Amino acid sequence: MGNEAIAGDAQRKKLTGKLSLLFLMAMIGLTFFSNTINNFTLPRVQTARPTNGALIKEIFGEGTVEVKSTREEYADTNLRVKEVMVEQGDRVGKGQPIIILDVNELKSNYQDEQARYRQLQLSLAGAREEQAQKQRDYDNLKYLFDNEAETAVNLQNAEKNLADAKRNCEDMQLNLEIQARKVDTLAQQLANNGVYTAPVDGMITELNFAEGSMTNNSLPLFKLADLRQGFRLIVPIDNDLVDYVKSGDTVSVNILSLGDKKTEGKIDKIVENSQHNGDEKDLWIDVSLEGLTGGEKGEIYLSKKTKPYATLVPNSAVYDDSSGSYIFVLESRKGPLGTENYLQKVEVNVEDSDNEKSALTDMVMGEVVMQSNKPVEDGDRVLKEAAN
């Protein structure tokens, strides 16, 4: 009976041990299973370590090609257009007739003004003879007055007559000079017989008067692009990018209007943008490419390195709210089943950025979160994934 009791007690202890082991294994299994389920619900993040170095400023822009030098030809007086010899866009050679004006009326005016000039010459000659006579009259009266043979009144009258004659000669001389300039101007206008030619080889970019219309000396008869002087591409850029470019920089140029022809250009100068003064500036870029005539659309690309920075993080790692910018730093802690990762919110100041990275004024220790599959907050436990 005693042996049976001892055997029963041993059996119970053995059963209790097995049950305890099973319970412990079940608890471990449940804990692991619970942790595994929890891992599926945790935010999954990808991280990166801060680096140092320079940012890359990439400058893109679109603009229009212009001819560097354009000639304008004006008519000095309003005349009727007799014939237009070219069309806008035509290439012309130096001396080639562009437009012919009707100068028949101008020729008649020229003849009339020449006749008036000759009349003034004759009138001036007569006035000078009269002045000489008045001078002789005055001299005679002065002699007689000095010898008490003439009155002071008569001498004063002679002096006044002489002064009037001198003034008349001076007026006629001025009128003659004015008339001479009129004749010279008309002669110059008639020198080409109304035919206006190209001053240089180039291309007609503007014709302002049609055949039969009257010219207006406030507008040029035509504009001629001097193709020998080359072309420039004018591209507006934001003011905050101007510090990264300078005259002499080489840029990649793509002329869209010529089937995406590619070439290189050099920045000639940087000027204020007339339409967005204060917000944008224009890059004047010298370009040379076969087929350019002006008016083509083009685009540029230029990359420049900034100064070195001590802390660079991916742009995706920087968040913004009403208080400013911040990042999430990954913080590792020991847990019951190994290392667990939590997020720490750190406020930062972004000094500069490019298309990929942001430069921080603060030193950052540890990995920063650059991507998450769901929204996260300070103190959240997360699951770290390897970056793609």
* pLDDT, tens digit, 9 for 90 and up, residues 60-96: 999 999 999 999 999 888 889 999 999 998 999 999 9
Percent of the chain with pLDDT over 90: 55
| Encoded tokens for 224 | 């001629």
* Higher pLDDT, residue 162 or 334: 162
Angle, in degrees to the nearest 10, between helices 152-191 and 104-146: 160
| Strand 81-84 to 231-238 pairing | unpaired
Q: Which of 9-13, 227-231, 342-346 has the highest mean pLDDT?
A: 342-346
Whole-number pLDDT of residue 55: 93
Rounded CA separation 129/136 (Å): 11
Whole-number pLDDT of residue 279: 84
Whole-number pLDDT of residue 33: 46
| Strand 381-385 to 44-48 pairing | parallel
Residue type, 154: N
- CA nearest to 85, candidates 190, 192, 196, 206: 196
Report how far Cα 1 is from the mean position of its chain's Cα atoms: 111
Distances (CA, A) of 21 to 12, 32, 100, 122, 341: 14, 16, 115, 143, 31
3-state secondary structure of 282: strand
Rounded CA separation 343/358 (Å): 20
Whole-number pLDDT of residue 365: 87
**Residues 6 or more apart from 194 whose CB is under 8 A from it?**
79, 82, 100, 101, 102, 103, 106
What are the tens digits of pLDDT across the range 288-300?
888 888 889 999 9
Whole-number pLDDT of residue 17: 64
Whole-number pLDDT of residue 170: 94
- CA nearest to 126, candidates 177, 173, 160: 173
Whole-number pLDDT of residue 13: 65
Whole-number pLDDT of residue 27: 56
Mean of per-residue pLDDT scores for the chain? 87
Q: What angle do CA 144, 146, 147 make, to 5 degrees?
A: 65
Rounded CA separation 302/362 (Å): 29
Q: Kindly tell me the number of DSSP H helices and DSSP E strands found in the chain.
A: 3, 21
Q: What pLDDT band is residue 108 in, cutting at 50, 70 and 90?
A: confident
With contact defined as beta carbons under 8 Å apart, do 110 and 187 qualify? yes
